Amino acid sequence: MFLHLGENVVVPIKDIIGIFDIETTMYSSDTSQFLRMAEEDGFVERITKDHPKSFVIAEVDKKSKIFLSPISSSTLSKRTESIYVEL
C-alpha cells in the first residue's frame, strides 16, 4: 500500500518512519537544526511550492528522505489508518 503525500508523490507505507506536524515540531531548536542540516545534505524533497504543513521521514532506496508535504500530519495519519482498516 502507498500513502499519497501531495501532488504526484506517493511512498510505500512500509517505508515511512514518521509523520510530523511542521508547525508544532518547529518549536524545538533540535528539529529546526535537523531539517536545516538534512536540506543542506540533499535529503529534503519539497513536494510543492506551497507552505508545508507536515514532513514525512521515509527510507527510500535504503536512504533516508524527508518529504515536505502540503497535507496536514493528521490527514496523512488518518490515510494510513484507513488503509489498515480496509485490509
Domain count, the chain: 1
* 10 has pLDDT over 60: yes
- Mean pLDDT value across residues 14-41: 93
pTM, entire model: 0.87
pLDDT value of residue 82: 64
- Mean pLDDT value across residues 11-29: 92
* 2 has pLDDT over 80: yes
* 27 has pLDDT over 90: no
- CA dist list (Å): 70 to 6, 7, 31: 6, 9, 18
Domain range for 43: 2-86
